[in-house]
Amino acid sequence: MNYRLVADITLPEPIAGSIGNLTSIGNTSTNSFKGNFDGNGKVITNLTINTTTEFNGLFGYVNGGTISDLGLANVNIKGGYATGGVAGYIEGSGASIARCYVTGSVIGTVHVGGIAGDVYIGVTISNCYTTCSVSGTSYQVGGIAGRNEGTVNNCYATGAISGTNWCGGIVGNNGGTVTRCVALNPSVNKEGSGGGTYFGRVAGSGGSLANNAAFSGMQALGGFSFGGSSGLDGAGIDKDAAKLQSTYSGSPRNWAFGTSNAAPWKWTVDTYLLPVFYWQTTAPIEMPEHLITP
């Protein structure tokens, strides 16, 4: 089935202590979303979920489905295992999330990501960005994906990351591929006093990592230090380089800037000096404070 969003949606602010204003679409493995959702460049604002159950996001469990061209503004998502902004869990050959962004806050337990909590083999997340803070009460937390067994490319994140282990600005635990991504997060925070050691500016662990960059001023909080490997931490860029189009469009990242899905990125809207999508006419947020040059 194919679905298309035809208008922006502003959801009401939830009542304090309520379960929020939405139950995730396809929130169990037996009731998964298997269709194709075209966001059509529209924005859903104030999406709020407040639960302890698994598989949470706008979409809870995606099996073979695709989601594209969607903005999620000012989300407030709290869930359990596999919690993300766009999708909690996504699997299936050909499944994908493309040209989506998320602002606000995403909180979960294990496998928590700004775009998706758990990304399985065969899945691609591409040309997405998040400005939301992402935190987990346990491990595998990332600005784009908490756990990645698929492919993440051409993405960036600017929000703070927090968890107990396997945490990174783009991906927490990487068993797949992360390429041409830029981690612009202010900090990665190791929560608790446990023995977790898997933290990085781009990714907390392993997999295939190539042509990624990261904000050189990113803070390592909670008793660890960056520097595990150049792959995990990416090439360092300062706040001035973060605000240059050539950082993204130039070699080795080569992001495509234009006016179509084939070249989806646009340079700056209003005073937001970071890439946005060609269909965006307003900035997602004000410039992140940690990237503003005094």
- Per-residue model confidence as pLDDT tens digits over 87-128: 999 999 999 999 999 999 999 999 999 999 999 999 999 999
Domains of the chain: 2-291 (2.160.20.110)
The pLDDT > 90 percentage for the chain reads 85
Q: 3-state secondary structure string, the chain?
A: CEEECCCCEECCCCCCCCCECCCCECCCHHHCECCEEEEEEEEEECCEEECCCCCECCEEEEECCEEEEEEEEEEEEECCCCEECCEEEEECCCCEEEEEEEEEEEEECCCEECCEEEECCCCEEECCEECCEEEECCEEEECCEEEECCEEECCEECCCEEECEEEECCEEEECCEEECCEECCCEEEECCCCCCCCEECCECCCCEEECCEEECCCEEECCCCCCCCHHHHCEEECCCHHHCHHHHHCCCCCCCECCECCECEEEEECCEEEEEECCCCCCCCCCCHHHCCC
Asked if pLDDT for residue 293 goes beyond 90, the answer is no
- Per-residue model confidence as pLDDT tens digits over 167-204: 999 999 999 999 999 999 999 999 986 667 899 999 99
Q: What is the mean pLDDT of the chain?
A: 94
